[in-house]
Structure 1
Amino acid sequence: MSGDHFHVHGPHDHAVEHAGHGGDDFASQIAVMTAILATVGALFSYQGGATQNDAMLHKNQAAILKTEAANQWAYYQSKGNKQNMAELGAVLTSDEHRNKFEDDVARYKAEKEEIKKKAEALEEKVKAEDELSEASMHVHHRWAQAMTAIQIAISLAAITLLTRKKWLKYGAWGTAAFGAALAALAIAHI
């Protein structure tokens, strides 16, 4: 400006002019803290979703195996019905046809044993898949709890920035540390 003109700076001009000089360290720290917490929260959220998917896959596998086991038990029951009919036939027929019915009874008994073993093995697999599903859901809940703690920490960081209360910043870090502890429990499957 030349010496003949008078120029008045507005508050915005003054802020822009001095933005690079000194800055607000407190606000910068909270901004970095929030960015770190948001990144950690995204990782926790991903892990929570992954473990929930694992739980659903195991539960789905358990349902499929349960259907297969039910089919085997129905097959077992049908063989039992045939065995009963063969036993009845052995009682009601003459000696010359009785051997055929008795052979059928023995065959159906043997077939039933094999079918029973298959059905029981499938039921054991169902139990194992259900247990894996429950374990995955437990880990999922830990990740969800960790994510909730991180979200609370981010909220505390925002309140810290608005109120400029340093003790709130420590509260945010404490809540974030609690979230990290919950994440460690999830990693350890506890």
Structure 2
Amino acid sequence: MSGGGFHVHGPHDHELEHAAQGGHGDHENGGTNGMIAQIAVITAIIATVGAIFSYMGGATQANAGLYKNNASIKKTEASNQWNFFQAKSTKQSLAELARDLAPEDKKIAYQGKIDRYEKEKNEIKLVAEKLENEATAWDKSSDEQMHQHHRWAQATTVLQVSIALAAIALLTRKKWLEYGMFALAGVGLIVGALAALHI
């Protein structure tokens, strides 16, 4: 009510003025509503980045398992080739014994078999060594993917702790917890960058 140049606000007028200016919280708590909005937006961004990191961690773990499986297959194939090589070596040794015990007119036939076994052994050896090298390469790729998976997992974990800290900061309205949330989010992003760079 007004009277003689004197204006009196009702309680609802006072609340409406403060709501229009940002509410009591901003004036009484040093920008609490602004802090809440800022933490909410940052938490949503952190959660989104964390979800991407989690996906990448799962993908690299799946790749590591696939590569390890490929290495096992190549090792088995190499082992089969070495067994084949050993069988040819045994046949060659028997042919050499037969050549040494055979009469002169049959030695040439046995020598032909010996030469053939030697040639086949060399071919088998090349295939076995190639398969072993492929197995080693797959093992190395698997180890690299597992290392990258661990980096993604570390980054995701740090971001999850950052989100938890954000929740505590919202409940307690402590500014230092908000700073801690930002610091942990930064560490999570750095570890995620290391994962992306295969470091």
Answer whether TM exceeds 0.5 for this pair: yes
Shift of 1:61: 0.9
Of residues 92-101 and 178-187 in structure 1, the stretch that sits farther from structure 2 once superposed is: 92-101
Deviates more, 1:50-59 or 1:63-72: 50-59
Report whether the alignment pairs 1:103 with 2:112. yes
Are 1:84 and 2:93 counterparts?
A: yes
Q: In structure 1, what residue type is equivalent to 2:51?
A: A
5+ long unaligned stretches in structure 1: 1-16
Q: Match of 1:136, as an amino acid?
A: Q
Paired residues in the alignment total 173
The reply to whether residue 169 of structure 1 matches residue 178 of structure 2 is: yes
Distance in 1 between residues matched to 2:189 and 2:45, nearest whole Å: 12
Partner of 2:60: 51
Instruction: Pick which of 48-57 and 175-184 moved more.
Output: 48-57
Structure 1 residue 145 displacement after superposition: 0.7
**CA apart distance, 1:28:** 2.4
1:128-170 CA distance string (max 9 Å, x none): 1111111111111111110011011011001111111011011
Choose between structure 1 and 2 for higher RCO, CA contacts under 8 A separated by at least 6 residues. 1
Q: After the TM superposition, which residues 1-190 of structure 1 pair with which residues of structure 2 at under 5 Å, given as runs?
A: 22=22, 24-190=33-199
Distance 2:36 2:70 in 1: 51
Deviates more, 1:142-151 or 1:49-58: 49-58
Question: Using the alignment, how far apart are the partners of 2:136 and 2:34 within structure 1?
Answer: 57
Code of the residue aligned with 1:67 in structure 2: it is T
TM-score, structure 2 length as denominator? 0.82
Identity percentage over the alignment? 52
Poorly superposed stretches of 4+, deviation over 4 Å: none
Letter in 2 for 1:189: H
Q: What letter corresponds to residue 99 of structure 1 in structure 2?
A: I
Structure 1, residues 59-80: CA drift from partner, whole Å, max 9, x if none? 1111111111001000000001
Q: Which amino acid aligns with 2:40?
A: A
Q: If the length of structure 1 is used for normalisation, what is the TM-score? A: 0.86
Q: Give the gaps of 5 or more residues in structure 2.
A: 1-15, 24-32
Measured after TM superposition, the shift of residue 112 of structure 1 is 0.2
Q: Which one is further off, 112-121 or 86-95?
A: 86-95
